[in-house]
Structure 1
Amino acid sequence: MVAETTLRPADLIAPLFVREGVTSPVPISSLPGVSQLDLASLRSEVAQLVSVGVRSVILFGIPLKKDPIGSGASDPDGIVQVAIRELRQCFGEEIVILADLCLDEYTDHGHCGVLTPTGEVHNDDTLVRYQEVALAQAAAGVDLVAPSGMMDGQVGA
């Protein structure tokens, strides 16, 4: 009835925030000790994680430009796709790369989806965008997409 639990660095997934348009880490005031990373800092951070046995990371992108449909999320040259390719090139299969699949950081209104003219999130149009984002992340070499947008039917899309 009593089992021991062992937690090792290899069991952890490190959340990493990668920001477009910066040349050095930008501290996140609400998360002491955590920063938004430029690509060079991202590579360095992942190398440090690997050196202590953490082999999985999840990427959250912060784009330079935002628009109503979050087009940067599915852009092959968007920050997360570029980061995925960089990490894959640097670390190969030594790490597992996950990517957040949501639109809130990419839209100019901050919602997780495409809005209707009356300002409501349009579920079906959003699912199409999520499919496009997942395909872009997969094409870049991600191992797992991590849907966080909370849309009905998102996982099945």
Structure 2
Amino acid sequence: MFPDVRLRRLRKGKIRNLVRETTLSVDDLVQPIFVNETIDSAVEIPSMPGIYNIPLSEVANEAKEIADLGIPAVIIFGVPAFKDAEGSSSYGETDVVQEAVRRIKAELGDELVVITDVCMCEYTSHGHCGIVDFETKEILNDPT
């Protein structure tokens, strides 16, 4: 009798789990934190309603509030007070992102995953994501 083989792959739970609709939960979220060392109080970012540049002094409290919501991770974006062609404010021992990470870890330890952004565009005076050789107009990958 037709059919000889009944293709019933979706009747088993493990297969159904593989092909089900996408699910998204708070466990999948990473909240950005924009730490601006030129401000003394939070300032909303006009292009991202509800998202703020916050001063370094508030970063640990902001991270704690995020962790209390159950969000497991943050990514730190720094807004430096000083910009130059080499983006030197991005890699110093006491620069804004490094200090933000220290403050968050001192407050929360391993309770929150802290991710850092390695792009240099926010730190360079020209806005490129790397050190530029202005004579050849090339991004210098190795020094970057």
Amino acid at match of 1:84: V
| Residue of structure 1 in register with 2:66 after alignment | 49
Structure 1 position 27, deviation (Å): 1.3
User: CA–CA distance in 1 between the matches of 2:67 and 2:136?
Assistant: 44
Q: Is the contact between residue 131 and residue 143 of structure 2 (CA under 8 Å) also seen in structure 1?
A: no
**Pair member with larger Rg:** 2
Structure 1 position 51, deviation (Å): 1.0
RMSD: 1.6
Amino acid at match of 1:105: E
Number of residue pairs the alignment of both structures matches: 127
1:61 aligns with 2:83: no
Structure 1 position 103, deviation (Å): 0.8
Q: Is the contact between residue 133 and residue 140 of structure 2 (CA under 8 Å) also seen in structure 1?
A: no
- Identity across matched positions, percent: 36
| Residue of structure 1 in register with 2:143 after alignment | 128
| Residue of structure 2 in register with 1:139 after alignment | none
Compared CA separation, residues 72 and 119, structure 1 to 2 (3 A): farther
- The unaligned stretches of length 5 or more in structure 2 are 1-15
| Residue of structure 2 in register with 1:143 after alignment | none
| Residue of structure 2 in register with 1:75 after alignment | 92
User: CA–CA distance in 2 between the matches of 1:107 and 1:38?
Assistant: 20
Amino acid at match of 2:94: D
| Residue of structure 2 in register with 1:89 after alignment | 106
User: CA–CA distance in 1 between the matches of 2:138 and 2:28?
Assistant: 36
Which runs of structure 1 show a deviation greater than 3 angstroms over 4 or more consecutive aligned residues? none
Structure 1 position 9, deviation (Å): 1.3
Structure 1 position 119, deviation (Å): 6.4
Q: Is the contact between residue 15 and residue 58 of structure 1 (CA under 8 Å) also seen in structure 2?
A: yes
| Residue of structure 2 in register with 1:98 after alignment | 115
**TM-score (norm: length of structure 1):** 0.75
